[in-house]
Amino acid sequence: MRLARLTQRKEFLAAAEHGRRFRSPAFLVQVRDAAPKEDGEGEEPRGLRLGLTASRKTGNAVKRNRIRRRLRAAAAQALREQTHKPCDVVIIARSEVLGADFHALVADLSIAIDRAKPQKPHSKPGANRPPGAGRRG
């Protein structure tokens, strides 16, 4: 079984901006529930779509590809029963994926959709500071 994939940058950004988050020692998962199209036409029902990200901070190209292969295999196993849920799942890898136990990766991914926490709303920098705070005079 092959999971559908997120392929466009705007889909990844939408999951980051409007999605819920789940943290693990090896990765961060962002889950965004599917919404109907804005142009009035209803979107046909679709299942779960997966997107993987491994930045250059996680290692060289060989390590990044190995990280993505491990996460793709773990996601296929963990999300097998949840493919009917209409949502987008983005997994942001950390370098700890390479040393993590595969069964632990599968266990963390299997609960990621249900336990993803709502993202904190974005606020302007310094909005929580009282007036005049941080100024030297």
Q: What is the pLDDT of residue 8?
A: 93
Q: What distance in Å separates the CA atoms of residue 103 and residue 91, rounded to the nearest whole number?
A: 17
Q: What is the pLDDT of residue 111?
A: 84
Q: In CATH, what number is assigned to the domain containing residue 106?
A: 3.30.230.10
The answer to whether residue 128 scores a pLDDT higher than 70 is no
Q: What is the pLDDT of residue 66?
A: 96
Residue 9: inside a domain: yes
The answer to whether residue 64 scores a pLDDT higher than 70 is yes
Q: What distance in Å separates the CA atoms of residue 95 and residue 99, rounded to the nearest whole number?
A: 8
Residue 135: inside a domain: no
The residue ranking higher by pLDDT, 85 or 101, is: 101
Tell me how many domains the chain contains.
1
The residue ranking higher by pLDDT, 113 or 69, is: 69
Residue 111: inside a domain: yes
Q: Which domain holds residue 89?
A: 4-35+46-116
- For the record, the structure tokens of 131 come out as 């007036």
Q: What distance in Å separates the CA atoms of residue 63 and residue 95, rounded to the nearest whole number?
A: 8
* 8-48 pLDDT, tens digit each: 999 999 999 998 999 999 999 999 987 655 544 555 557 88
The residue ranking higher by pLDDT, 36 or 66, is: 66
Residue 23: inside a domain: yes
Q: What distance in Å separates the CA atoms of residue 119 and residue 18, rounded to the nearest whole number?
A: 7
Is 32 exposed, middle or buried (CB count within 10 Å of its CB: 0-12, 13-18, 19+)? Answer: buried
With beta carbons less than 8 A apart as the criterion, state whether 112 and 89 touch.
yes
The closest of 101, 79, 103 to 90, measured between CA atoms, is: 79
Residue 124: inside a domain: no
Residue 123: inside a domain: no
Residue 55: inside a domain: yes
The answer to whether residue 79 scores a pLDDT higher than 90 is no
Residue 132: inside a domain: no
* 89-110 pLDDT, tens digit each: 999 999 999 999 999 999 999 8
